[in-house]
Structure 1
């Protein structure tokens, strides 16, 4: 069978990606056969010129991680991006960002289709990275812009139900109970709760700056959280801490909560779902609006408010609507 590809060029994998293989050289060719770009790439490879481009995705990642934008990211945001950067370095680290096209981003997405959440997160990271490339003048257009995300197949996060909240309170003690009440009572992310110090607390609430959004918030205490804090011994600067007073890590916090979750059968409800529970509780109270939820959670996006508290808001409004209908049809009393 006659080959349609030039010497040393082979199609590999299910997608049929083209590679130049000669001697110790194995390099992917991103241009299409029959184009002038392909002819130039092939001629360059035949001459043995396989040096990485001056601009590469790997170098772009290095620059981005030294930028002020990176420094302003919360710890968990950086950790998530770093995980995706490792993938990008391995699969496309030597590619010039200027040669990256939207079709290549879709190829990456489809190659990860069996893990849609992971695929979507990698697209999010690439979107941010390419936005930075535009910012520093490496490219003129972001190839990851407006990429359609895959539909997640996993379970959607839901707020903790009231019975499991009470079951946790009945089972937990010590630091696990304190952490649980801090998360539920403040409605904040785990990183922000672990950063809270006794000096952030006055008689009525916490003053804090969220790590992710940089929103400055004042969070009044609930009666339950006030009682828990009043009974807590101060061991150091941080409220949730080790026996020696030092701040605990996220893995330690996760272990504390997970131990109790397993005992009460709450494996489906994680730490972040306590933030959902706080937002949902507020939204379920008649008269509470998205602004009230936002005042506690610090969300700036209406879409995120709907994600966190939409079901509870709908239920509260539906209850009010049905009550209004019943009140309207009740016979008026004669005076």
Structure 2
């Protein structure tokens, strides 16, 4: 018989002989867990307590509802093998959906029947978020994932999201830093400062904030820096750029991580973003210049230098060419166009074009 091993679980029989289970994490209040270990209601309550949302722990879950589907998803390998940051992002979107009500009022979506969801219901949800296309499309993405999960588990036969289109959006995502913005930041934050070190690590490794805050001298060997990406688990060996080496040599850093807070502690991804936002404001740059925008700028630089998509993927860790194309969309079009013309005839071809136009 397989035994389910879960952290922070206490079990005992009460005076009536009934087996009771509690979640008891050191420093936290004891939380009663319903049902038996491994059951949907138990795993949902356990996951909620583990992630710091114990208000859900005693909720009674009705089979066939979104509450039940979401509980199954939270206890599945699909969810539990995601990175911590991705789980938090997914959970925020899913819980917001679960707790919200249709425009007409009534019960929350979490209490609604999964089998009753139809495409027109989903379109109505997206229409209600039309003013924030990114939020609408994130909701569609989560619903699509949950419906695929439901089909695979025989909870419903079809996926009602299949023919629901995303909301059109003019946004291109995170702003990709320009060379002028990079220069302005560097002019404000001199060599040897923590801000300059953060900029160099983001720009010359092309990694996400979650990876940059974990980097330390123990990851450097033979002129390369080793990265195991938190989001994708991809393992990379990235040669250290001369400018990054210059910044590292000039900057005092922590024992385990290069970048530390004012108190000498490693940053979390979220606290790093908040601190870096202040550094951006100190440099007089507009809002929206984020750490992730430097990852895009690094990809742009690689594209402008003539790197192939596969070479760029070897640095950024992207898995598909589509992702690389999206990240390098800010590559210098004029320079790339000149390079393209030069590749098929250089100056002579360009001269002919000028004469024809004149």
Would the TM-score normalized by the shorter structure come out above 0.5? yes
Distance (Å, rounded) in 2 between the aligned partners of 1:300 and 1:273: 19
**CA contact under 8 A between 1:183 and 1:190: conserved in structure 2?**
yes
SS at match of 1:93: helix
Match of 2:49 in 1: none
Q: Deviations over 1:10-69 (max 9, x none)?
A: xxxxxxxxxxxxxxxxxxxxxxxxxxxxxxxxxxxxxxxxx9742211122122112222
Q: Taking structure 1 as reference, are residues 189 and 106 closer, same or farther at Cα in structure 2, changes over 3 Å only?
A: same
Match of 1:309 among 328, 350, 355: 328
Q: Deviations over 1:216-265 (max 9, x none)?
A: 21111111111222233343222222355532123331233212322322
Match of 1:74 in 2: 83
SS at match of 1:310: coil
Distance (Å, rounded) in 2 between the aligned partners of 1:116 and 1:315: 31
Distance (Å, rounded) in 1 between the aligned partners of 2:278 and 2:262: 18
SS at match of 2:318: coil
Q: Which has the larger radius of gyration?
A: 1
Q: Deviations over 1:66-110 (max 9, x none)?
A: 222212222332222122112221231011212212222112111
Write out aligned runs for 1:1-335 (5 A).
53-90=62-99, 91=101, 92-154=109-171, 156-172=173-189, 174-242=193-261, 245-263=264-282, 264-286=284-306, 288-312=307-331, 314-323=333-342, 324-329=344-349
Distance (Å, rounded) in 1 between the aligned partners of 2:233 and 2:341: 40
Residue 195 of structure 1: how far off its partner (Å): 2.0
**CA contact under 8 A between 1:276 and 1:308: conserved in structure 2?**
yes
**CA contact under 8 A between 1:56 and 1:93: conserved in structure 2?**
yes
Q: Taking structure 1 as reference, are residues 159 and 198 closer, same or farther at Cα in structure 2, changes over 3 Å only?
A: same
Q: Which moves more between the two structures, 145-154 or 93-102?
A: 145-154
Gaps of 5+ in 1: 1-50
Distance (Å, rounded) in 2 between the aligned partners of 1:114 and 1:158: 20
Q: Which moves more between the two structures, 109-118 or 83-92?
A: 83-92
Residue 274 of structure 1: how far off its partner (Å): 0.2
Gaps of 5+ in 2: 1-59, 102-108, 352-358
Distance (Å, rounded) in 1 between the aligned partners of 2:61 and 2:220: 54
**CA contact under 8 A between 2:304 and 2:332: conserved in structure 1?**
yes
Task: Point out 4+ residue stretches in structure 1 off by more than 6 angstroms.
Answer: none
Q: What is the RMSD of the two structures over their aligned residues, measured on CA atoms?
A: 2.4
TM-score, length-normalised on structure 1?
Answer: 0.76
**CA contact under 8 A between 1:164 and 1:266: conserved in structure 2?**
no
SS at match of 1:208: strand
**CA contact under 8 A between 1:284 and 1:315: conserved in structure 2?**
no
Distance (Å, rounded) in 2 between the aligned partners of 1:179 and 1:75: 22
SS at match of 1:207: strand
Q: Taking structure 1 as reference, are residues 316 and 275 closer, same or farther at Cα in structure 2, changes over 3 Å only?
A: same
Q: Taking structure 1 as reference, are residues 66 and 245 closer, same or farther at Cα in structure 2, changes over 3 Å only?
A: farther
Q: Taking structure 1 as reference, are residues 57 and 219 closer, same or farther at Cα in structure 2, changes over 3 Å only?
A: same
Q: Taking structure 1 as reference, are residues 52 and 273 closer, same or farther at Cα in structure 2, changes over 3 Å only?
A: closer
**CA contact under 8 A between 1:116 and 1:153: conserved in structure 2?**
no
Distance (Å, rounded) in 2 between the aligned partners of 1:242 and 1:70: 31
TM-score, length-normalised on structure 2?
Answer: 0.72
Matched pairs, number:
280
